[in-house]
Amino acid sequence: TTILGLESSCDDTAAAVLQITDGAASVLSSVVADQAALHAAFGGVVPEIAARAHAEKLDICAREALLQAGTGLHQLNAVAVTAGPGLIGGVMSGVMFAKGLAAGAELPLVGVNHLAGHALTPRLTDGLAFPYLMLLVSGGHCQFLLVEGFDNFTRLGGTIDDAPGEAFDKVARLLALPQPGGPAVEAEAAQGDPARFRFPRPLMDRPGCDMSFSGLKTAVLRARDEVMQGGKLRASDRADLCAGFQAAMTDVLVKKSARALDKVAGEGITALAVAGGVAANTPIRAGLETICTDRGLRFVAPPLALCTDNAAMIAWAGYERFKAGLRDDMTLAARPRWPLDQTSPAMLGSGK
């Protein structure tokens, strides 16, 4: 089976060709055109600019993915596309392009939930069997999911305010470090003393798996203002602030993950899997690995290129649906909001 995946729900336009032979998947191509340069001047993703850029780049990315894979349209078995959640202009661009392509090439169309794409990636990369626990930690999301089937997700908890990647990015901005903030803060933290600043660990002593990160960012701001002299921040102070922030972040994510694992202990899970850009963070990864080892579970962290937004994960999630006989038609709707535990578009029948 050969599937073309398309992704345009945020600020990356992506296309990928995935081939599945006897259950073994190989990513023949995975093209990602990021829009960072377009949004840089605005300090965040501008929806209208993103939508236009997707509309301009989708065909180019799709052609590039097919070229790199050495695959013609007639060799495809289906087109899979992100149908939500995300910035609606971008999602609409993708869905309309996919409909046109599917109609023109007479191919089946499969609508995919972007979060399902992330959550199913460990099955693509590591052949992980259901059920497993998924921690999704990115620039826009943070949640624990019990994954029991390709269309069976239970949310156990998540952030009630900022996503961890967003917190890393905001802290980087406070400390005049470059964007994206995660890698910059991690590099600084490696030079600093994590014990000097003791930042809050919100909701830690509350039961459940919910987390909160916005207070942490405010605490970093306050500590920064206290140590700044004449508007200047010493290099060692900056490193210590980063180390303290990262320690708090790691502590919360690891302890809440342990709690989530204990909560689903009776469900027969064999692994904790992660996805999202923050899963690239070495101390966070190490902490998660330890709690897995302690419980005799596998820790699965897909390669970074498949952890952040990409279309190979959309092609894979599309393949799982396609294999189960699910198809969408021209009524497939683009959905700005689409919680994972709600019925999929194909199952709604018409996406209404």
DSSP letter (8 states) at residue 232:
B
In the three-class reduction of DSSP (H, G, I as helix; E, B as strand; rest coil), residue 158 is classed as: strand
Shortest approach of Fe ion to residue 87 CB, angstroms?
12
**Is 12 labeled as ligand-binding?**
no
User: Between residues 29 and 82, which has the closer beta carbon with respect to ligand ATP?
Assistant: 82
DSSP letter (8 states) at residue 317:
H
| Placement of tokens 């605005």 in the chain | 42
**Is 182 labeled as ligand-binding?**
yes
- Residue 288: which of 318, 256, 317, 313 has the closest Cα? 256
CA distance 172 to 295: 34
Binding partner of 85, given Fe ion, ligand ATP, none, CB within 5-8 angstroms per partner class: none
Beta strands 24-34 and 78-84: pairing type?
A: unpaired
Among 309, 319, 321, 340, interactor with Fe ion by CB under 5 A: 309
CA distance 49 to 261: 40
Binding partner of 215, given Fe ion, ligand ATP, none, CB within 5-8 angstroms per partner class: none
Binding partner of 55, given ligand ATP, Fe ion, none, CB within 5-8 angstroms per partner class: none
**Is 205 labeled as ligand-binding?**
no
End-to-end Cα, the chain, rounded Å: 29
User: Between residues 28 and 142, which has the closer beta carbon with respect to ligand ATP?
Assistant: 142
Binding partner of 320, given Fe ion, ligand ATP, none, CB within 5-8 angstroms per partner class: none
CA atoms 147, 205, 288, 117: torsion sign: positive
Binding partner of 186, given ligand ATP, Fe ion, none, CB within 5-8 angstroms per partner class: ligand ATP
| Size, binding site for Fe ion by CB under 5 A | 1
**Is 30 labeled as ligand-binding?**
no
Work out whether 7 is an interface residue with Fe ion (CB under 5 A).
no
Shortest approach of ligand ATP to residue 110 CB, angstroms?
20
| Placement of tokens 């903030």 in the chain | 181
- Distance set, CA 1 to CA 17, 20, 121 (Å): 10, 5, 17
Shortest approach of Fe ion to residue 200 CB, angstroms?
27
Residue 157, CB half-sphere, CA atoms under 13 Å: how many? 18
**Is 318 labeled as ligand-binding?**
no
Shortest approach of ligand ATP to residue 221 CB, angstroms?
17
**Is 310 labeled as ligand-binding?**
no
**Site for Fe ion, residues 182 to 241, rule: CB under 5 A:** none
Omega before 85 within 30 of 0, i.e. cis: yes
Structure tokens at 113: 């939930």
Shortest approach of Fe ion to residue 139 CB, angstroms?
8
In the three-class reduction of DSSP (H, G, I as helix; E, B as strand; rest coil), residue 63 is classed as: helix
221-228 long-range contacts (CB < 8 A, ≥24 apart) are 221/174, 223/197, 223/199, 224/174, 224/175
Shortest approach of ligand ATP to residue 155 CB, angstroms?
15
> In this chain, which stretch among 54-62, 244-252, 291-299, 302-310 interacts with Fe ion, using CB under 5 A?
302-310
**Is 114 labeled as ligand-binding?**
yes
Structure tokens at 311: 């279309």
Residues whose CB is less than 8 angstroms from the CB of residue 339 and which lie 6 or more positions away in sequence, other chains included: 85, 155
**Is 169 labeled as ligand-binding?**
yes
Residues forming contacts to ligand ATP in the complex (CB under 6 A) are 10, 138-141, 165, 168-169, 180-183, 186, 276-278, 280-281, 308-309
Detail the residues annotated as belonging to a binding site.
Answer: 114, 118, 136-140, 169, 182, 186, 281, 309
Q: Residues interacting with Fe ion, by CB under 5 A?
A: 309
Detail the residues annotated as belonging to a binding site for Fe cation.
Answer: 114, 118, 309
